[in-house]
Structure 1
Amino acid sequence: MSKHEIYAETAAQIEAVLEGETDRTAQMATVSCLLSQAFPNSYFWTGFYVVDPARESELVVGPYQGTLGCLRIPFGRGVCGTAAAERETQIVEDVHAIPNHIACDSRSNSEIVVPVFDRAGKLIAVFDVDSTEKGTFDEVDKDWLERIVASIFAK
């Protein structure tokens, strides 16, 4: 199956499993799990960093699949913090080539981070996927991941 077909199938699974579910933790855990399982050879770390309500300029690790993640990330720092600060998806072909990268696991080589908004347009989290291979993520990933998180969290 092509990457596009895998995303389409997985998005349908996510929608079906989460139908009627309103708990954000359950939603995030399900999205992380199903996407991680759909791409076992390219998704090394898959999960959410949630905006800390006590410190609205900091992310705290949320539901994820993979090795130990960073516990907290300030807005503007690393790929996740940049996605949160700029409120735009970040695709990084080689994380070691950017000066403010935070190495939670040195085996990560490329990354995509998608900001997650609620229905009012407020940033609630970022969805982060790391790969051990360089150049793993592209516009197909960006398009599908943005669609998936919007379909769950912005409705």
Structure 2
Amino acid sequence: MIKLNGIERMSDKQRLEYLLISLEGQLSSENNPLANISNASALIYAIIDRLNWAGFYFMRENELVLGPFQGLPACNRIKLNAGVCGTAAATRKTQVVPNVHDFPGHIACDSASNSELVVPIVKDNTVYGVLDLDSPELERFTELEAKYFERFVKKLNQYIDWDEL
């Protein structure tokens, strides 16, 4: 069981460490990939502040399809190379976007989003999808967060067989 008592007093780095510890606890006690991905998005949304969306898109027939998330309803499908998510999946590189309105081809699923962090999910040289975080704040995401969310995806890769989703 996760307890969020005192989280408001944690530094950003402490929250990110707590997020990884909480994820490990969740993944090590459950083997269903859908349950784990669902709880992974809920953990992010509960622990990381100043977000308006946190979730996953998965590769299906050469495009990204919406997976478990927290936040308002989102775009169902995103083409590769389209928007921040499609770019992250196509390039296999984490995207930290301080102002999404300056990003060529940005897809506005939620008009309140102003910055974005997207980490590609790559395992055994296969792109399985992306982890997508949105914020209503400009310049919300840091390089520290990018590194921790890359670790978050690596932790998911240790436990999840993406082909089962």
Which TM bucket (shorter chain)? over 0.9
Rounded Cα–Cα distance in structure 1 between residues aligned with 2:153 and 2:71: 19
Letter in 1 for 2:143: E
Give, in angstroms, the shift of residue 24 of structure 1.
Answer: 2.3
Q: For residues 52-71 of structure 1, what are the structure 2 equivalents within 5 Å? A: 52=60, 55=61, 57-71=62-76
Residue 142 (structure 1) aligned to one of 136, 140, 146:
146
SS of residue paired to 1:111? strand
Rounded Cα–Cα distance in structure 2 between residues aligned with 1:36 and 1:108: 15
Rounded Cα–Cα distance in structure 2 between residues aligned with 1:34 and 1:146: 15
Rounded Cα–Cα distance in structure 2 between residues aligned with 1:101 and 1:153: 27
Residue 16 (structure 1) aligned to one of 9, 12, 25:
25
Q: TM-score w.r.t. structure 1 length? A: 0.92
Contact 1:121 1:154 in 2 (8 A): no
Q: TM-score w.r.t. structure 2 length? A: 0.87
| C-alpha RMSD of the superposition | 1.2
Question: What residue is the counterpart of 1:46 in the other structure?
Answer: 54
Percent identity reads 40
SS of residue paired to 1:5? helix
Letter in 2 for 1:81: G
Cα gap change, 1:17/1:154 in structure 2, threshold over 3 Å: closer, same or farther?
A: closer
Rounded Cα–Cα distance in structure 1 between residues aligned with 2:98 and 2:120: 18
| Alignment size in residue pairs | 150
Contact 2:30 2:36 in 1 (8 A): yes
Contact 2:119 2:150 in 1 (8 A): yes
Contact 2:26 2:36 in 1 (8 A): no
Flag as ranges the 4+ runs of structure 1 deviating above 4 A: none
Rounded Cα–Cα distance in structure 2 between residues aligned with 1:81 and 1:24: 23
Q: For residues 1-155 of structure 1, what are the structure 2 equivalents within 5 Å? A: 1-39=10-48, 41-52=49-60, 55=61, 57-118=62-123, 120-154=124-158
Unaligned 5+ runs, structure 1: none
Give, in angstroms, the shift of residue 20 of structure 1.
Answer: 4.5
SS of residue paired to 1:91? strand
Unaligned 5+ runs, structure 2: 1-9, 160-165
